[in-house]
Amino acid sequence: MAIRAAGTGLKVDFVQFMKSGKSGEVAILEKIPNIHYRCPGEHPFIMSHGPKPLHYEHAEKALGYAFEAIRRGTHLLICDEILDTLIFELLRKNRLLELIERCKRKVELVMTGMSAPMEFIELTDYATEFIQIKHAYYIGAKARKGIEY
Domain 2-139 has CATH 3.40.50.300: yes
- Residue 12 confidence class, pLDDT cut points 50, 70, 90: very high
DSSP state string for 94-141 = HHHHHHHHHHTTTSEEEE-SS---HHHHHH-S-------S--GGGGTP
Cβ 55 vs Cβ 46: under 8 Å: yes
pLDDT over 80 (residue 149): no
DSSP-derived 3-state class of residue 61: helix
Computed over every residue of the chain, the mean pLDDT equals: 92
Q: What ranges do the domains of the chain cover?
A: 2-139
- Main-chain dihedrals φ then ψ at residue 143, nearest 5 degrees: -60, 135
**pLDDT tens per residue, range 39-96:** 999 888 887 778 999 999 999 999 999 999 999 999 999 999 999 999 999 999 999 9
Tell me the average pLDDT across 98-119: 95
Cβ 20 vs Cβ 42: under 8 Å: yes
Tell me the average pLDDT across 118-127: 90
